[in-house]
Amino acid sequence: MALPSLRAAACHISPHILSAARTTQKTIHCINTAARQSAHLVVFPEASIPAFPLWSSLLPPTHTHHFFRRMVQESVYVDGEEISAIRQAARDNRVVVSLGISERVRYSSGTLFNTNIIIGEDGEILVHHRKLMPTFFEKLTWAPGDGYGLRVAQTRYGKIGALICGENTNPLARYALMAQGEQVHISTWPAIWPTRVLVENAGNEHNPVSTRSRNYDNIAANHTRAAAHCFEAKCFGIMSAGHLDDAAMADIAAMTEAPEDMRKRLASYPRGASQFLDPTGKTVEGGFAMDLTKDQLLDGQAMVTNMEAILFADLDLNECIEGKQYHDVVGGYQRFDVFSLHVNRQRHEPVQFHDGNEDASSSSSLGHDGQTNSGGKGREG
pLDDT (tens digit per residue) in 1-26: 999 999 999 999 999 999 999 999 99
Q: Is 167 a catalytic residue?
A: no
Catalytic entry in 30, 121, 131, 308: 131
From 11, 26, 30, 46, active-site residue: 46
User: How many residues are recorded in the chain?
Assistant: 381
- Per residue in 115-141, pLDDT (tens digit) is 999 999 999 999 999 999 999 999 999
Clarify whether 165 is annotated catalytic. yes
Q: Write the DSSP assignment of 284-344 as a string of letters.
A: PPS-EEEETTTTEEEET--EE-SS-EEEEEEEEGGGGSHHHHH--TTTTT--TTT------
pTM for this entry: 0.92
Task: Say how far apart CA 4 and CA 71 lie, in whole Å.
Answer: 40
pLDDT class of 190 with cuts at 50, 70, 90: very high
Q: What is the pLDDT of residue 356?
A: 84
Residue in 285, 188, 175, 185 with CA at minimum distance from that of residue 236: 185
Mean pLDDT of the chain: 92
**Percent of the chain beyond pLDDT 90?**
86
The CA distances from residue 314 to 149, 214, 308, 374, in Å, are 27, 36, 20, 43
**What mean pLDDT comes out for the span 303-329?**
97
Cβ pair 218, 303 in contact under 8 A: no
Which range is least confidently modeled, 38-52, 90-104, 266-280, 345-359?
A: 345-359
200 is catalytic: no
> Which domains can be identified in the chain, with CATH numbers?
7-195+215-326 (3.60.110.10)
